[in-house]
C-alpha cells in the first residue's frame, strides 16, 4: 500500500484525476470501478472539465459502481445510479450502456449480486477501483466484520452508516437499510485501487486503514494486502497517523 498525503482536498482530487487520466490514456478500454458519496465529487468535476478540454476520454471505457441501495430504482434521486448520472455520466463521453450499477429494484437482489460479479468478470475485471472510506472504516458498504474475501452481496447497513447518510434523505423519506455492494474480495481483485479521504472526521478510519492490523474490524485495512493500492489523503485526514 502506498500512502500519499497532500495539503488539501483539491490536491487529493487532482492527484486522483491524474491517475484516472493516465489509466485511460494507457488503456482507453479501461474498466473503471467508481464510487458515490462526497469523497469523489471534486474528482468527478475535474474529470468533466478535462474531458471537455479534450484531455481525457471515456468513450471506450466501462464502469462498475461499488454499490446501490436495495429498494431504490435508478430514477430515485437518492439512488446511486441517479447520483452517477448527475455527477459524472451525463456530462462526459462515456457510453451509458457500458456504465453498471447494481439494480436496486431487481426481483431477486441475491441473483442481481451474482449477475453483477459475472458482468465484472465478463468485462475482464476492474483496472482501477476508486474508493471512499466510512468513518467506521467501511469500503463500499462492507461494514466492520464483513469477510475480507466477500463478493458482491446484499448487506444490511449499520446504524452509524444510516446516520451518516441520513443527511441525503428528507424527513418524510424512507431511508433504505440494505444495500448491494461489491465485496472486499471483489475490490481486492481490481488491478489498482485508489482510496480518497479528506477531513478530520476521517482521521481515525485512515489510521485503522493504514496503520491498524489487517482485520475485518476495519474493512479498509484489507487494502494493506493489495500490491497496487494507493491511499490519498489531505493533512486533516492524516492527522492521527504516527
Distance, in Å, from the CA atom of 153 to the CA atom of 67, rounded to the nearest integer, reads: 10
Among 22, 38, 59, 217, binds ligand F6R (CB under 6 A): 38
Nearer to ligand F6R, 37 or 104 (CB): 37
Among 12, 16, 24, 35, binds ligand F6R (CB under 6 A): 35
Dihedral sign for Cα atoms in the order 102, 106, 108, 114: negative
Distance, in Å, from the CA atom of 96 to the CA atom of 63, rounded to the nearest integer, reads: 9
Nearer to ligand F6R, 60 or 178 (CB): 178
CB of 54 to ligand F6R, least distance (A): 29
- How far is C-alpha 12 from the chain's CA centre? 15
**Buried/exposed 65-93: b ≥16 CB within 10 Å, e otherwise:** bbbbbbbbeeebeebbbbbbbebbbebbe
- Pattern of binders to ligand F6R over 119-158, x per CB under 6 A? -------------xxx---xxxx-----------------
Annotated active-site residue 201? The verdict is: no
Annotated active-site residue 65? The verdict is: no
Annotated active-site residue 91? The verdict is: no
Distance, in Å, from the CA atom of 120 to the CA atom of 124, rounded to the nearest integer, reads: 7
Chain residue whose CB lies nearest ligand F6R: 132
Q: In sequence order, which ranges of 98-168 are alpha helices (DSSP H)?
A: 109-122, 159-165
Cell readout for 201 is 472526521
Nearer to ligand F6R, 24 or 102 (CB): 102
Which residues would be at the binding site for ligand F6R (CB under 6 A)?
A: 35-39, 66-67, 132-134, 138-141
Q: Which residues are part of the catalytic machinery?
A: 67, 136, 138, 143
Amino acid at each position: 500500500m502506498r500512502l500519499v498525503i497532500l495539503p488539501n482536498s483539491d490536491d487529493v482530487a487532482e492527484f486522483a484525476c491524474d491517475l484516472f487520466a493516465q489509466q485511460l490514456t494507457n488503456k482507453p478500454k479501461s474498466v473503471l470501478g467508481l464510487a458515490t458519496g462526497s469523497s469523489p465529487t471534486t474528482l468527478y468535476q475535474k474529470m468533466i472539465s478535462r474531458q471537455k478540454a479534450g484531455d481525457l476520454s471515456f468513450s471506450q471505457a466501462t464502469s462498475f459502481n461499488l454499490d446501490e441501495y436495495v429498494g431504490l430504482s435508478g430514477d430515485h434521486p437518492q439512488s446511486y445510479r441517479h447520483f452517477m448520472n448527475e455527477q459524472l455520466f451525463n456530462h462526459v463521453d462515456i457510453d451509458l450502456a457500458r456504465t453498471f450499477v447494481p439494480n436496486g429494484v431487481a426481483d431477486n437482489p441475491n441473483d442481481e449480486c451474482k449477475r453483477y460479479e459475472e458482468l465484472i468478470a465478463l468485462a475482464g475485471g476492474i483496472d482501477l477501483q476508486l474508493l471512499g472510506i466510512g468513518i467506521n472504516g467501511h469500503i463500499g458498504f462492507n461494514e466492520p466484520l464483513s469477510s475480507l474475501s466477500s463478493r458482491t452481496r446484499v448487506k444490511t447497513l449499520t446504524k452509524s452508516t444510516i446516520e451518516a447518510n441520513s443527511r441525503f434523505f428528507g424527513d418524510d423519506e424512507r431511508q433504505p437499510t440494505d444495500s448491494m455492494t461489491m465485496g472486499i474480495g471483489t475490490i481486492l481483485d481490481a488491478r489498482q485501487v485508489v482510496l480518497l479521504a479528506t477531513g478530520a472526521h476521517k482521521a481515525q478510519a485512515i489510521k485503522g486503514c493504514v496503520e491498524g492490523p489487517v482485520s475485518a474490524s476495519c474493512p479498509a485495512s484489507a487494502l494493506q494486502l493489495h500490491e497496487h493500492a494507493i491511499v490519498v489523503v489531505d493533512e486533516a485526514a492524516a492527522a492521527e497517523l504516527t
